[in-house]
Homo-oligomer: A and B are copies of this chain.
Amino acid sequence: MYLAKIVGRVVSTVKQDTLAAIPLQWLQPVDARGREHGAPLVAADTFGLGPGELCYYITAREASIALWKLDVAVDAAVVGKVERIDLGETGEK
Protein backbone atom coordinates (compact mmCIF):
# COMPACT_ATOMS: atom_id res chain seq x y z
CA MET A 1 0.00 0.00 0.00
CA TYR A 2 1.13 3.57 -0.60
CA LEU A 3 0.48 6.77 1.30
CA ALA A 4 -1.49 9.52 -0.37
CA LYS A 5 -3.12 12.81 0.38
CA ILE A 6 -6.74 13.44 -0.66
CA VAL A 7 -6.62 16.28 -3.17
CA GLY A 8 -10.08 16.45 -4.67
CA ARG A 9 -13.09 14.61 -5.95
CA VAL A 10 -13.59 13.20 -9.44
CA VAL A 11 -16.93 13.96 -11.05
CA SER A 12 -17.98 11.37 -13.57
CA THR A 13 -21.55 10.62 -14.59
CA VAL A 14 -20.87 8.52 -17.68
CA LYS A 15 -19.20 5.47 -16.17
CA GLN A 16 -19.11 1.70 -16.19
CA ASP A 17 -22.22 0.28 -14.47
CA THR A 18 -20.43 -1.44 -11.57
CA LEU A 19 -19.03 1.96 -10.54
CA ALA A 20 -22.46 3.47 -9.83
CA ALA A 21 -22.67 5.09 -6.39
CA ILE A 22 -18.97 4.62 -5.66
CA PRO A 23 -17.28 7.93 -4.69
CA LEU A 24 -14.05 8.60 -6.56
CA GLN A 25 -11.24 10.62 -5.00
CA TRP A 26 -8.26 12.28 -6.65
CA LEU A 27 -5.16 11.22 -4.71
CA GLN A 28 -1.58 12.49 -4.70
CA PRO A 29 0.91 9.87 -3.41
CA VAL A 30 3.22 11.29 -0.72
CA ASP A 31 6.14 10.08 1.39
CA ALA A 32 6.30 9.92 5.21
CA ARG A 33 6.98 13.66 5.36
CA GLY A 34 4.04 14.54 3.15
CA ARG A 35 6.18 15.37 0.10
CA GLU A 36 4.47 14.55 -3.19
CA HIS A 37 6.01 11.90 -5.44
CA GLY A 38 4.74 10.03 -8.47
CA ALA A 39 1.59 10.51 -10.52
CA PRO A 40 -1.77 11.35 -8.94
CA LEU A 41 -4.53 8.79 -9.43
CA VAL A 42 -8.27 8.14 -9.15
CA ALA A 43 -9.34 5.80 -6.31
CA ALA A 44 -12.61 4.56 -4.85
CA ASP A 45 -13.15 5.81 -1.28
CA THR A 46 -15.88 4.49 1.00
CA PHE A 47 -14.57 6.39 4.06
CA GLY A 48 -15.60 9.81 2.88
CA LEU A 49 -12.26 11.44 3.61
CA GLY A 50 -11.84 15.15 2.89
CA PRO A 51 -9.19 17.23 1.13
CA GLY A 52 -5.82 17.20 2.93
CA GLU A 53 -6.39 13.97 4.86
CA LEU A 54 -3.70 11.28 4.73
CA CYS A 55 -4.67 7.76 3.66
CA TYR A 56 -3.20 4.55 2.26
CA TYR A 57 -4.62 2.76 -0.72
CA ILE A 58 -4.37 -0.58 -2.47
CA THR A 59 -4.26 -1.24 -6.17
CA ALA A 60 -5.13 -3.83 -8.80
CA ARG A 61 -7.55 -6.71 -8.36
CA GLU A 62 -7.63 -6.56 -4.56
CA ALA A 63 -9.07 -3.04 -4.69
CA SER A 64 -12.44 -4.70 -5.14
CA ILE A 65 -12.10 -6.33 -1.73
CA ALA A 66 -12.22 -2.89 -0.17
CA LEU A 67 -15.69 -2.50 -1.67
CA TRP A 68 -16.87 -5.93 -0.47
CA LYS A 69 -17.61 -6.94 -4.03
CA LEU A 70 -15.29 -8.75 -6.43
CA ASP A 71 -16.88 -7.66 -9.68
CA VAL A 72 -16.33 -3.93 -9.56
CA ALA A 73 -14.29 -2.31 -12.31
CA VAL A 74 -11.83 -0.53 -10.02
CA ASP A 75 -8.09 -0.96 -9.60
CA ALA A 76 -7.42 1.47 -6.74
CA ALA A 77 -9.22 1.97 -3.41
CA VAL A 78 -8.56 3.79 -0.15
CA VAL A 79 -8.35 1.24 2.71
CA GLY A 80 -7.55 3.39 5.72
CA LYS A 81 -6.77 6.75 7.22
CA VAL A 82 -3.27 7.31 8.60
CA GLU A 83 -3.02 9.00 12.00
CA ARG A 84 0.77 8.99 12.07
CA ILE A 85 3.90 7.04 11.22
CA ASP A 86 6.25 6.18 14.09
CA LEU A 87 9.74 6.25 12.62
CA GLY A 88 12.27 3.99 14.36
CA GLU A 89 15.67 5.02 15.67
CA THR A 90 17.36 3.95 12.45
CA GLY A 91 14.63 5.56 10.40
CA GLU A 92 14.62 7.25 7.03
CA LYS A 93 16.98 10.13 6.56
Contacts and interface: CB of A to CB of B under 8 A. Distances in A.
Complex copy number for this chain: 5
Contacts of A87: 7-8, 26, 51
A50 B90 CA distance: 10
Chain A contact-residue range equals 35 or more
Interface string A1-33: 111011111111111101100001010110110
Contact of A10 (B14, B56, B61, B75): B56
Given A1-B42, A61-B62, A75-B58, A9 B85 contact: yes
Interface of A: 1-3, 5-16, 18-19, 24, 26, 28-29, 31-32, 36-43, 47, 50-52, 56, 58-66, 71-77, 79-93
